[in-house]
Amino acid sequence: RGRLLSFHRRPEDLSDTASYLYEEDGGLLIEGGRITACGAFADIRAEAPEDVAIVDHRPHLILPGLIDTHLHFPQMQVIGSYAANLLEWLNTYTFVEEQRFSDPAHGARIAVSFFDEMIRQGTTTAVAYCSVHKASADAYFAEAQRRNMLMLGGKVMMDRNAPDALTDTPQTSYDDTRAVIAEWHGKGRNHVVISPRFAITSTPEQMEMAATLAREFPDLHIQTHLSENLAEIEFACSLYPKAKDYTDIYAHYGLLRENMLLGHAIHLSERERDALSETGAVAVHCPTSNLFLGSGLFPLKEFERRDRPVRIAVATDIGGGTSYSMLKTMDEAYKIQQLRGERLTPLESFFHMTRGNAEALGLADRIGTLEPGTDADIVVLDARATPAMALKMEAASTLAEELFLLQTLGDDRAIAETYIAGRPAKSAI
Ligand code: GUN
Ligand code: FE
């Protein structure tokens, strides 16, 4: 029982009340890990079994669990590393730290912290890069299954421009990815993602292997990085001189498709934007990372407004990103649009964190809403979590104001509870 909020589609503006369901005294009926009814509390109470256990979350908001569409599992100890730009940050810290994940015990230890942190932040689904080592993917998916979370992830493919201890070969990257798929895809709620890191760290021979995997597994997601930093773009294009531009490198190998996630995608030409639009590939906005590494200001509104719109998602990009919180992530996304002279309403932000990201993943029939039949992955938000928030809430009179306050001042303290498949998970940590 609580105040329910679930989106039907992206809100046009703050007055677009038809874009979402809001129930002031609402109820969700949960059975077997699924939502079986959603509506006014009195109606749900009437149709529920007599002996049903009622959890009263009033006056908090009940939303679908938050979704993070791009982050790096082996970068929990990279977060907040001081560097001038992406390539310096990768070489100085990231490619050093990720080597530790050759040790299965290290991966297993970090996985516990990683999933605890997701739950503490209200993130119920995430799409992660593991390290190049198959053992890191094993650690990630084993912990996801233990927690019964719907998680996506993949063993990173990278065979050049990184230390020897962090590279595979075209053949081993193919074999190990096949093995991860065989062992983990569909186990529990796990989804394996084909994960060539980016054009700079894959030879054309390895890209061919990624292309083969993509053909063999058309239903699997693919993830990589695209057009994050100007020096990166120049380096990538120099390694693939026949490509028209950075996007064309991936297009050449047939990787652009609806279930393809392109991290960052900041500095794209019109031609590249058209290529994403035509194929349905998703540009993933990573605001805290783009600010931290000085990468650039993602043109979110331009992507949405085009005649041929580019699909977008939002993400933390830990450890280039600086917060695990999707609330903080959208706070920074808002500020980036401010600098671009654009508006990002709080309704849109909460749409993107939930249903928007679920749609980008093609999983809106399972997660991202409170609709009956979907998985009971749920977050409970407390807009009075801190004294400063409680004081500001006295001056807030609309739902949009409350959401904007949660986004602007909220963090893990505002996550009153996180439910995974119907079970309280945050209070159980
Ligand atoms: N490009 C290639 N690898 C990475 C990474 O780990 N983080 C970020 N932000 N960009 C990348
Ligand atoms: Fe990344």
Summarize pLDDT for 31-84 with one digit per residue, the tens.
999 999 999 999 999 999 999 999 999 999 999 999 999 999 999 999 999 999
Per-residue pLDDT, 229: 97
Whether 232 lines ligand 1, by a CB cut-off of 6 Å, is: no
Per-residue pLDDT, 101: 98
Pocket test residue of 73, 136, 166, 198 for ligand 1, highest count of atoms within 8 A of CB: 198
Residue nearest to atom 1 of ligand 1 (CA): 225
Rounded to the nearest angstrom, the distance between the alpha carbon of 424 and the centre of ligand 1 is 33
Relative to the CA of 320, which ligand 1 atom is closest? 9
Relative to the CA of 94, which ligand 1 atom is closest? 6
Per-residue pLDDT, 392: 98
Rounded to the nearest angstrom, the distance between the alpha carbon of 158 and the centre of ligand 1 is 12
Relative to the CA of 289, which ligand 1 atom is closest? 9
CA 135, distance to chain mean position in Å, is: 22
Pocket test residue of 70, 71, 72, 85 for ligand 1, highest count of atoms within 8 A of CB: 72
ipTM score over 0.95, yes or no: yes
Rounded to the nearest angstrom, the distance between the alpha carbon of 317 and the centre of ligand 2 is 5
Whether 317 lines ligand 1, by a CB cut-off of 6 Å, is: yes
Task: Give per-residue pLDDT as tens, 12-21.
Answer: 999 999 999 9
Per-residue pLDDT, 24: 98
Whether 72 lines ligand 1, by a CB cut-off of 6 Å, is: yes
Whether 348 lines ligand 1, by a CB cut-off of 6 Å, is: no
Whether 419 lines ligand 1, by a CB cut-off of 6 Å, is: no
Rounded to the nearest angstrom, the distance between the alpha carbon of 389 and the centre of ligand 1 is 34
Pocket test residue of 76, 77, 94, 167 for ligand 1, highest count of atoms within 8 A of CB: 94
Relative to the CA of 321, which ligand 1 atom is closest? 9
Q: CA-CA distance, 385 to 32, in Å (whole number)?
A: 30
Per-residue pLDDT, 313: 99
Q: Which residue has the tokens 């992660």?
A: 128
User: Could you tell me which of 197, 195, 198, 192 has the C-alpha nearest to residue 220?
Assistant: 192
Per-residue pLDDT, 100: 98
Whether 320 lines ligand 1, by a CB cut-off of 6 Å, is: yes
Per-residue pLDDT, 366: 98
Q: CA-CA distance, 322 to 293, in Å (whole number)?
A: 10
Nearest ligand by distance to the CA of 263:
2
Per-residue pLDDT, 297: 98
Residue nearest to atom 11 of ligand 1 (CA): 225
Low-confidence residues of the chain: pLDDT under 70: none
Per-residue pLDDT, 282: 98
What is the model's pTM? 0.98
Residue 370: other Cβ atoms inside 10 A:
23
Rounded to the nearest angstrom, the distance between the alpha carbon of 344 and the centre of ligand 1 is 26
Residue nearest to atom 9 of ligand 1 (CA): 320
